[in-house]
Amino acid sequence: MRRFLKALLAVVILATLVTLGVDVSFYLLSRHARLEKLRQERDHLQRVINRLTGKTRRAELVVDGQVLNGRGKVLQTTLLWREFTIGRGGREIALPMRKITIAGDMPHVDGIVLKFQNKYVEDGDLLRGKSLVFFRSIYGNSQAPDQGSSLLGRGGVPAVLLGPHNRRNIFAQSLWNKIWLLLKHPLLAKKEGLDVVQGEAVYRPVKRGRLYVIYLHNDGGPEFTVAPGESSLVNKLLDQASQAHSRVAGSP
């Protein structure tokens, strides 16, 4: 009888251990699955945050020269300006540089900003995942907007639409073709996935030897900021402008 009870006890203990082992394994697998799901949700949320808070370089400018009066006040500023378009694979492509002169030392950069609905930005939509800006003009603090220098290219088309074409450029071109309708009719803009279509100007005082960058926030408008520290690009841009001027001056 004792032998039977011992054997029975051994069987019970073994069954208990097996059951516990299965339960522990199931718990560990379930816990691992939950942790993996939480990691995936965290990574997805981080990507959404990055898309919503991200920004893209859309233009750069450098002061080529300034004219001062006898009291040191800046009367006139000559700027080197270049825009950037987005090529295949999200690669930034610099457009040809332009030389522009304004009154004073505070350039106002005017453009039309098209902000897409948040769902497109959150999802990283290929065409609507980032705001668009069509730069129109630069003018000084003492100038009226219509007295400034146009930033539009040939035919009155934004310069970024005259660069290398990709799917986004073609899409942006279609929006530009009806830009005045989009500005006047919010319901039409919403059908295109747009949340905001409006004119915006950013401005700041500038001085020689610094690089200034205009960023466009994925989920917002433009930001006109000074690049931190000294930049070798400043001298490079000034040299390029000087060489271009020499070639033009030396032409027959």
pLDDT at 31: 64
- Please, which residues have CB within 8 angstroms of residue 171's CB and are 6 or more apart in sequence? 127
pLDDT at 252: 42
- Looking at residue 249, what is its pLDDT? 41
CB 51 within 8 A of CB 129: yes
Torsion angles phi and psi, residue 248, rounded to 5 = -65, -45
Assigned token pair, 212: 């200034």
Q: Are 90 and 233 contacting, i.e. CB atoms less than 8 angstroms apart?
A: no
* Domain spans in the chain, listed from the N-terminal domain onward: 1-53, 55-249
pLDDT given for residue 48 in this prediction: 55
pLDDT averaged per 10 residues in sequence order, the chain, 252 residues? 54 51 58 65 61 83 90 91 82 88 95 94 87 95 88 90 72 94 95 94 92 93 84 62 50 42
Work out the burial of residue 206: count CB atoms within 10 Å of its CB; fewer than 13 is exposed, 13-18 middle, 19 or more buried: buried
Query: Can you give the pLDDT at residue 238?
Result: 64
| HEC secondary structure over the chain | CHHHHHHHHHHHHHHHHHHHHHHHHHHHHHHHHHHHHHHHHHHHHHHHHHHHHCEEEEEEEEEEEEEECCCCCEEEEEEEEEEEEECHHHCEEECCCEEEEEECCCCEEEEEEEEECHHHHHHCCCCCCCCEEEEEEEECCCCCHHHCEECECHHHCEHHHHCCCCHHHHHHHHHHHCHHHHHHCHHHHHHCCEEEEEEEEEECCCCCCCEEEEEEECCCCEEEEECCCCCHHHHHHHHHHHHHHHHHHCCC
Task: Please list, in sequence order, all residues whose beta carbon lies within 8 angstroms of the beta carbon of residue 54, skipping any fewer than 6 positions away.
Answer: 130, 217, 218
What's the rounded Cα separation, in Å, for the pair 102 and 206?
Answer: 12
pLDDT reported for residue 137? 95
Q: What is the pLDDT of residue 142?
A: 86
Please give the pLDDT value at position 83.
94
pLDDT confidence of residue 9: 47
d(CA 78, CA 235): 15
Question: What does DSSP say about strands 222-226 and 149-150: parallel, antiparallel, or unpaired?
Answer: unpaired
Q: Tell whether the torsion through CA atoms of 8, 14, 20 and 25 is positive or negative.
A: negative
pLDDT digits (tens, 9 = 90+) for 17-64: 455 555 556 555 666 667 666 676 665 566 656 666 689 899 999 999
Residue 133 and residue 111: Cα distance in Å, rounded?
6
